[in-house]
Amino acid sequence: MGSIATDDIRAMPCYSIPEAAHYLRIPETTLRSWVRGRKYPTSGGDQFFQPVIELPDDSQNLLSFINLVEIHVLDAIRRDHRISLHKVRIAIDFIKEELKSDLPLAYHKLETDGLDLFVEEYGQLINVSQAGQLVLRNLLQAHLRRIDRDSAGYARRLYPFTRKRLGQQFIEEPKAIVIDPRISFGRPVLVGTGIPTAIIAERYKDGEAIGALADDYGRPTLEIEEAIRCELYTRAA
DNA sequence: TGCCAACACTGAAGAAACCA
DNA sequence: TGGTTTCTTCAGTGTTGGCA
């Protein structure tokens, strides 16, 4: 059975909704709906949109690192391939049952057995073509490749996307930024260092040149640019 | 105490999916 | 095919907490 201890640092609530939305480049309101649900008006009165992601503590609006990974995967399924949330819920329930895991979106079996199960279930739900299944598979794999796992198969590190999405171009983005709950309180840092991207972006905003920052930290210019992109991304970008 | 920023909540609109 | 429902997003308002 796939589950994670509640005292595991990865299951601790530590990311606010705006913060998680920023790191994962998802509209804040969408993320809020996914984790808290929301009511919406219908002709027969208000209905409630059920949350898709379960927070570690319902009384706090804080996400865990595991939630971050789940949303990273959900985002690939939902937004990049435009699968309706209704179908996503059905497919998630299906793989949850098949994988015997409470956290199917954050569990390694999604990458092995689950991906095919999901594609298979998704195919049954909407009768997707072989070509469509291949595209879905590639997109999901691109997102899953950005997750490092421990020996038990649970997400240990996440390499968030830092660039604006243009079709499938983002699939080959460099893994320059990492979110690791054991480093810098789980805030994004340059890979292989403990240097928070927020510090780099702050210095850049204060007028320091990218080249100077690269020299100062002894890191390639590309990494500094990725750090700045990660932090200074806005919806208008 | 008042100001400000960040966050939370919700109405409304529009697009997409669903269904008879 | 058209009405209804679902979902996403924008925009506006309310709340809360930090700070001078």
| Domain final position from A173, A205, A227 | A173
**Whether residue A189 sits in one domain with residue A165:** no
Written as one letter, the residue type at A187 is R
| Domain final position from A153, A173, A193 | A173
**Whether residue A139 sits in one domain with residue A113:** yes
CA atoms within 13 A on the CB side of A181: 23
**Whether residue A128 sits in one domain with residue A214:** no
What separation, in Å, do the N-terminal and C-terminal C-alpha atoms of chain A show? 42
Q: Is the CB of A30 under 7 A from strand B?
A: no
Residue A191 sits in which domain range?
174-237
Q: Is the CB of A24 under 7 A from strand C?
A: no
**Whether residue A39 sits in one domain with residue A82:** yes
For residues A49 and A86, is the Cβ–Cβ distance under 8 A?
no
Structure confidence by residue, pLDDT tens digits, A73-110: 777 766 555 566 666 666 666 666 666 666 666 665 55
Looking at strand B, which nucleotides approach a protein CB closer than 7 A? 6-13, 16-18
**Whether residue A119 sits in one domain with residue A101:** yes
pLDDT at A218: 92
| Domain final position from A125, A146, A173 | A173
Structure confidence by residue, pLDDT tens digits, A162-216: 765 544 444 566 788 899 988 887 888 899 888 888 888 878 877 888 999 999 9
Q: Is the CB of A86 under 7 A from strand B?
A: yes
The closest of A210, A209, A200, A206 to A230, measured between CA atoms, is: A200
Looking at strand C, which nucleotides approach a protein CB closer than 7 A? 4-11
The closest of A138, A98, A102 to A6, measured between CA atoms, is: A102
Within a domain: A1:
no
Residue located via tokens 């750090």: A227
pLDDT at A134: 58
**Whether residue A161 sits in one domain with residue A67:** yes
CATH number at residue A192: 1.10.10.10
Nucleotide with the nearest C1' to A43 CA? C4
**Whether residue A123 sits in one domain with residue A23:** yes
pLDDT at A184: 83
**Whether residue A131 sits in one domain with residue A67:** yes
Q: Residues of A from 68 to 87 whose C-beta is within 7 A of strand C: which are they?
A: 78-79, 84-86
* Over residues A136-160, mean pLDDT: 78
How many Cβ atoms sit within 10 Å of the Cβ of residue A54?
Answer: 13
Q: Is the CB of A36 under 7 A from strand B?
A: yes
When pLDDT is cut at 50, 70 and 90, the band that residue A220 belongs to is very high
Residue located via tokens 């509209």: A27
Q: Nearest 5 degrees, angle CA A86-CA A88-CA A89?
A: 65
How many Cβ atoms sit within 10 Å of the Cβ of residue A158?
Answer: 26
Q: Residues of A from 95 to 114 whose C-beta is within 7 A of strand C: which are they?
A: none
Structure confidence by residue, pLDDT tens digits, A106-147: 665 555 544 554 555 544 443 344 444 555 566 667 777 888
**Whether residue A38 sits in one domain with residue A121:** yes
**Whether residue A181 sits in one domain with residue A169:** no
**Whether residue A131 sits in one domain with residue A218:** no
**Whether residue A65 sits in one domain with residue A178:** no
Flag whether pLDDT at A152 surpasses 80.
Answer: no
How far is Cα A66 from Cα A24, in angstroms, rounded to an integer?
13
Structure confidence by residue, pLDDT tens digits, A3-55: 666 677 888 877 888 788 778 877 777 787 788 777 776 656 667 777 777 77
